A and B are shown apart, each in its own frame.
Chain A
């Protein structure tokens, strides 16, 4: 099995957790295929050691960090978060990780830094899905700096108390629980602090459907389907989707005064 990651439970959620089997066999990770079970089948080719993450851009201490050092950067926490996919399904997942802000503080962002850009590994031999042009590779994502510094924003290195399975974004991924799942970029190799809003993969692919912010919002529909409801994996009937996926009390102040229909 995958190595255990001792952690302290810092965030619970009074909702049934999605089974480990479902969390690890129902994935959108197009680097390994577009079918939901393709990642579990094909991600065995990904080599997660050695692995480094380059943190650079508008910071005073740019550096390349080995994954085993990165995992020990801050005390590991277990946090149970909801995960809402833009397609209309959701899960409850006990992640193991540490806040992204711990890493960002270490590299000391400069005053000019306003956004954080993330990049996934690009390697067709390890990621056979990258032979298809379903998206532009490598997968890229981004956050505003204040979103990235928010205490809820997690760098996850495990789930269910063990290291991340490859299909879930090993060895290290982002988890932004109030945004649609595709913002939570997997298998990160590069983090860059920048002064302008960085391009993001799904926004490049279909800008009218996927905005930069992509906050979970039941009142702004996807052009092809409603976002008012979601099906929790394992349930028969859909349930109402919560604004900011239920994290509004903590994050809505980040968007005060913004037109959320325009900045979707």
Chain B
């Protein structure tokens, strides 16, 4: 799971040591490339983490269960890096510029809202936290991920110019994974 971030880190090290960004796979515009890359991996990990529970219930692949937490945490890590690069290198590390972008542009607001929703989930991802909060309340809290996924999918749709299928495919997969949860478990098992 660390591979995408590791690949990116190696490319950045090579660029900082003097290699041409395009030659190391960061395109002629490495900052834009990096922001897009991290955002794409954040939504991929998020969708994969959302796929675990339906696959457990439906396909009875219970061996997938231990993957859910690391997938969620990698989604958060990519989102955090995505936001950090945007904040430091696009918004010049200025909170007032960032605030202005959030306030003026729904596209940025949705991304920021998704990140904000993931933050408490990442902070309460330990066994200790589950014990302290109580399993029932912990589960209720972690349902925020559904909203985060919806915001992330719309944020991605708003990212591109013209009609491009890629973000709609991600949104479609996310929608299926959320809708399947609305089906009664017994019904899904019989099907």
Cβ-defined contact, B28 with A36, below 8 A = yes
What residue in chain B is nearest A87 (Cβ atoms)? B161
- Across the interface, which residues of B come within 8 angstroms of A21, CB to CB? 20, 22, 28
Known: A133-B163, A237-B92. Is A231-B29 also a contact (CB below 8 A)? yes
- Across the interface, which residues of B come within 8 angstroms of A202, CB to CB? 161-162
Interface string of A210-234 (1 = CB under 8 A from B): 0000000000010111100101011
Residues of A contacting B: mostly: loop
Q: Which of A132, A224, A238 contacts B105 (CB 8 A)?
A: A224
B31, CB-defined interface residue at 8 Å: yes
- Across the interface, which residues of B come within 8 angstroms of A236, CB to CB? 31, 89
Stretch of A22-30, A71-79, A110-118, A144-152 at the chain-chain interface? A22-30
Known: A25-B22, A87-B161, A133-B163. Is A36-B101 also a contact (CB below 8 A)? no
The total of chain A residues at the interface (CB under 8 A) is 29
Interface residues of A in 219-260 (CB under 8 A from B): 221, 223-226, 229, 231, 233-234, 236-238
Instruction: Report Cα–Cα, A37/B106, bound state, in Å.
Output: 28
- Across the interface, which residues of B come within 8 angstroms of A225, CB to CB? 101, 105, 107-108
B27, CB-defined interface residue at 8 Å: yes
Kindly count the residue-residue contacts between A and B in the assembled complex, taking CB atoms under 8 Å apart: 68
Shortest C-beta distance, A239 to chain B (Å), equals 10
A106, CB-defined interface residue at 8 Å: no
Cβ-defined contact, A22 with B28, below 8 A = yes
What residue in chain B is nearest A18 (Cβ atoms)? B28
Interface residues of A in 22-44 (CB under 8 A from B): 22, 25-26, 30, 34, 36-37
Instruction: Report Cα–Cα, A236/B108, bound state, in Å.
Output: 21
What residue in chain B is nearest A224 (Cβ atoms)? B107
Instruction: Report Cα–Cα, A89/B165, bound state, in Å.
Output: 24
- Across the interface, which residues of B come within 8 angstroms of A37, CB to CB? 27
- Across the interface, which residues of B come within 8 angstroms of A229, CB to CB? 92
Besides A25-B22, A134-B164, A205-B162, 5 more A-B contacts (Cβ < 8 Å) are: A21-B22, A34-B162, A135-B162, A225-B101, A237-B89
